[in-house]
């Protein structure tokens, strides 16, 4: 005859952390009024590559391959073909990456984004 194993005694403490001890996800803040004005100004500029109508590209990498935290201040104007991978085989910043985009077009997007943010008042 088989013997049943004894059941473990119940825990005094729950396995999960108490809700007040669990880290809460940080809420993403939206752009400030100043950043929204900056976005509107940059969006009205022509594409940096071809001069066509543009959308905003948030610069999150450098030509040296380092990752940069997404910022509402670091934006540049790029048309759909030079911004998003769905528009061209190897023309967009998403397809080439920032180092490849710099090699292909000679444009350092991080430098341009920082310059545009500095020029926002003038």
Where are the extended beta strands (E) located within the chain?
A: 55-58, 75-78
Q: pLDDT confidence of 56, banded at 50, 70, 90?
A: very high
* CB neighbourhood size of 85 (10 A): 13
Mean pLDDT for 47-69 is: 86
Question: Between vectors from CA 55 to CA 52 and to CA 60, what angle results, nearest 5°?
Answer: 125
Q: Domain-by-domain residue ranges, the chain?
A: 55-121
Position 117 scores a pLDDT of: 92
Which of 10-24, 32-46, 53-67, 108-122 is modeled with the greatest confidence? 32-46
Higher pLDDT, 79 or 28: 79
Give the tens place of pLDDT for each residue, 9-52: 777 766 666 556 556 666 677 888 899 999 999 999 999 999 99
| C-alpha torsion angle, residues 61, 62, 67, 68 (rounded to 10) | -80
Summary mean pLDDT of the chain: 82
């Amino acid at each position: 005859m088989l013997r049943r194993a004894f059941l473990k005694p119940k825990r005094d403490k729950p396995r999960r952390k108490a809700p007040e001890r669990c880290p809460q996800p940080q809420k993403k803040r939206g752009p400030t009024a100043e950043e929204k004005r900056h976005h509107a100004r940059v969006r009205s500029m022509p594409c940096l590559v071809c001069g066509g109508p543009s959308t905003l590209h948030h610069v999150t990498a450098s030509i040296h391959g380092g990752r940069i935290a997404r910022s509402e201040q670091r934006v540049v104007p790029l048309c759909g073909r030079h911004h998003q991978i769905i528009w061209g085989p190897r023309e967009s910043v998403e397809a080439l990456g920032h180092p490849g985009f710099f090699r292909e077009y000679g444009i350092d997007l991080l430098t341009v984004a920082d310059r545009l943010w500095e020029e926002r008042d003038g």
